[in-house]
Chains A and B, each alone.
Chain A
Amino acid sequence: MADASYTHTPQEYDTQLGDYFALLKPRVMSLVVFTAFVGLLAAPVAVNPIVAFCAILFIAVGAGASGALNMWWDADIDGVMRRTAKRPIPSGRVPAGEALALGIALSGLSVMMLGLAANLLAAALLAFTIFFYAVIYSMWLKRSTPQNIVIGGAAGAFPPVIGWVVATGSFSIEAWLMFALIFMWTPPHFWALALFMKSDYNDADVPMLTVTHGRRATRLHILVYTILLVALAICTGFTAIGGPLYLAVAVVLNTLFLKGAIDIWRRDEAVAEADGYTVEKKVFRLSLWYLFAHFGAILLEALLRPVGLGGW
């Protein structure tokens, strides 16, 4: 009757394929796919479409693997935070050990296959990115320093560089400019989120800037990082990956983003709480469009270049 007891255990739940997929953080993966794709197409070397498809796929799988490792390590705090409590491990849909196994297996597979599909430098960079996100950020920085988001943002900034290396086999200043765009964008993006998801990071005891240095300091940090980001984003418009179209997009969005950051900086907690963090939420939503539009413009410049329209 062992089978019967197995079937009727009330807590029994068969992990579905979708639960494993959710471990890979599909929304983060979609950003990785997009930025890696832009990095690959912006590079001045053409890539066979099948090789390009495989390379992007394995970069995405590598990103997913690091997401699974992150969820395995952070399952305890994910269960405490409202935003993450429904993730597969804290909600009991996937056993922690399976998430670890999936993360390790997909990491190895993605690095090996990217090395075979593209080149060893791209594979090494993907391996480093997974290590950086899973070990340096998740296991070390996230719970030890309020600069967790700043340094951890580097992990999310590598995909366009990997895409570029897939095409060219080497690094260049343009690839690092795309890296810098995401790197500088990450802190204001997450700190805006931390301002209106106020109790989450407190409850989980994660040393977010809002918890360690207070909300006034966080508002100032958002403004300072946004000013640096604006300078970087506009300057990128005058490089080989930029062009008139990119510059037009950058001017509009950076004006809006800077205005949003100034608004956040000028508000105090009482006003923000009274209107339900409207401005903070608006800037957070804008930040998503901001990154998408900048990389979309870089992509368009690259696509228009062969017909003599893109670039300067």
Chain B
Amino acid sequence: MTLRPEHALHTRRRGRNVGVGLLLGGFVVLVLALTVAKVTSGDFELPKAEELSQ
């Protein structure tokens, strides 16, 4: 597959694509922060070994 010059469509949609990328990145960070907040809260308990094996 050969490299082709960038299509005008890519240029026109750059703002939208960058925006979607930032939103997805932000969502990943949000889920990470939420996970950290949940597992470091006082009432978080890991499931017991016998519960996992059932």
Binding site for B on A (CB under 8 A): 3, 6-7, 14-17, 48, 50-51, 54, 57, 116-117
Map CB proximity to A onto B1-40 as digits: 1 under 8 Å, 0 otherwise: 0000001110011011001100000000010011011100
State whether A6 and B9 are in contact (beta carbons under 8 Å apart), knowing that A16-B16, A50-B33 are contacts in the complex. Answer: yes
Q: Is B53 an interface residue (CB 8 A)?
A: no
**Cβ–Cβ < 8 Å partners of B30 in chain A:** 54, 57
- Give 16 A-B contacts (CB < 8 Å), ordered by A residue: A14-B9, A14-B12, A14-B16, A16-B16, A17-B16, A17-B20, A50-B33, A50-B34, A50-B36, A51-B34, A51-B38, A54-B33, A54-B34, A57-B30, A116-B34, A117-B34
How many chain B residues touch A (CB < 8 A): the figure is 16
CB < 8 Å neighbour of A48 from B13, B20, B41: B41
B9 and A17 within 8 A (CB): no
- The answer for the CA separation of A205 and B12 in the assembled complex, in Å, is 39
- Nearest CB on B from A185, distance (A): 32
Cα A57 to Cα B34 in complex, Å, equals 12
Asked if residues B9 and A16 are in contact (CB atoms below 8 Å), the reply is no
Given contacts A3-B7, A6-B9, A48-B41, contact A15 B34 (CB under 8 A): no
Report if A50-B37 is in contact (Cβ < 8 Å); known contacts: A17-B15, A17-B19, A17-B20: yes
Q: Are A16's CB and B34's CB within 8 A? A: no
- Once A7-B8, A54-B30 are accepted as A-B contacts, the answer to whether A16 and B37 lie under 8 Å apart by CB is no
- A3 and B30 alpha carbons, distance in the complex (Å): 39
In the bound complex, residues from chain B placing their C-beta under 8 Å from that of A57 are 30
Q: Specify the main secondary structure of chain A where it touches its partner.
A: helix
A-B residue pair count with CB separations less than 8 angstroms? 30
Distance of A7 Cα from B7 Cα, bound (Å): 10
B36 partner residues in chain A, CB cutoff 8 A:
50
Contacts of A48 in B (CB 8 A): 37, 41
| Given A51-B34, A117-B34: A14 in contact with B41 (beta carbons within 8 A) | no
Min CB distance A213 to B, Å, is: 45
Could you tell me the distance in whole angstroms from the C-beta of B34 to the nearest C-beta in chain A? Answer: 5
Q: Specify which chain B residues have a CB less than 8 angstroms from the CB of A3 in the assembled complex.
A: 7
CB distance from B19 to the nearest CB of A (A): 4
Instruction: For residue A95, give the distance in angstroms from its CB to the closest CB of chain B.
Output: 14
Set of chain A residues within 8 Å of B8, measured between Cβ atoms: 7
Within the complex, the shortest CB–CB distance from B15 to chain A, in Å, comes to 7
Find the A residue at minimum CB distance from B22. A17
Of B19, B36, B37, B41, the most chain A CB neighbours within 10 A belong to: B37
Q: Contact: B9 with A51, CB < 8 Å?
A: no
Would you give the shortest CB distance from A22 to chain B, in whole angstroms?
13
Which residues of chain A come closer than 8 Å to B16, judged between CB atoms? 14-17
With a CB–CB cut-off of 8 A, which chain A residues contact B34? Answer: 50-51, 54, 116-117
Other than A16-B16, A51-B37, give 11 A-B pairs with Cβ distance below 8 A. Answer: A3-B7, A6-B9, A7-B9, A14-B9, A17-B16, A48-B37, A50-B33, A51-B38, A54-B30, A54-B34, A117-B34
